Amino acid sequence: MKRILSIAAAAALLVTLLPIGAVAAHDNNGQGNGRHGDRHSHKVTICHKGVTITVAKKSWTLKGHLKHGDFIVTPTTPCVPKPKPPKPAQTVCTFVGTANYSGTNGTSSGPITFSYSQPTASTAGVVKPGGTWTEGAIVDTITGGSVPFSGTGVNLKFNRSGSPIFEFNGNLASNNLTGALVSPPGSPAWPTNTFVTTGGSVTCTQATAAHRHGG
């Protein structure tokens, strides 16, 4: 009899506690969901200068994002990145002529070609490596130098196969290249009459630079 009463008492106690536990669980879930919802309800996704970012609503209202042109991102108002401004146009000129020089080794002639760039009207152009000056069977490769956009004060560096680099100092005016060759460092000085004179043509084009100008 006592055992039956104990079982009955335990069952009654369980029935009494069950609603309390259910209510507590419901309250905990409600609080958890509330906190979770509150955490997200304090955030807003905006478009700032073409970049999607998430900020606090307080920051959205206090920092004046609207004044900067920012807006809240929605399915109908997506954040589109701003296009990058185009690179400034640069002028690229190419000189092509027949070079003639006279010195102790006689006279040699052949095509001379070099290119130079001019990003602005106030800076000197830089010779693009790869131009050539052919002396008969010998091909000298232009490895650097500069040419002002005005066409005067040309300085070219040549690399002759099997020989040190030598330079040319002269002027380019009215499609005529004139100047003197400079002997390589450590080599005997070339005679002062080692001149270069050549007529040719200059062609200039403008193009938007896809990459940084590297010379």
What is the reported pLDDT for 77? 87
Q: Which of 22-26, 59-63, 106-110, 169-173 has the highest mean pLDDT?
A: 169-173
pLDDT at 96 over 90: yes
Whether residue 29 is predicted with pLDDT greater than 70 in this model: the reply is: no
* Integer Cα distance of 151 and 65 in angstroms: 52
pLDDT 10s digits, 126-179: 888 889 988 777 888 999 999 887 778 899 998 887 677 888 999 998 889 998
Across the range 14-37, mean pLDDT stands at: 47
Residue 150's SS3 state is coil
Torsion of CA 71, 75, 76, 81, to 10 degrees: 60
- Position 88 scores a pLDDT of 65
CA geometry: angle at 88 spanning 87 and 94, to 5°? 115
Burial of 159 from C-beta contacts in 10 A (0-12 / 13-18 / 19+):
middle
Question: Which residues partner with 172 through β-bridges?
Answer: 177
77 with 173: CB under 8 angstroms?
no
Task: Give percent of the chain with pLDDT exceeding 90.
Answer: 11
Q: What are the tokens at 50?
A: 């073409």
Q: Which burial class, exposed, middle or buried, applies to 147 when counting CB atoms under 10 A from its CB (0-12, 13-18, 19+)?
A: buried
Tell me the DSSP string of 9-73.
Answer: HHHHHHHHHHHHHHHHHHHHHHHHHHHHHHHHHTEEEEEETTEEEEEEHHHHHHTTGGGGT-EE-
Give the pLDDT confidence of 35-66 residue by residue, as tens digits.
Answer: 555 555 788 888 888 888 888 887 776 666 76
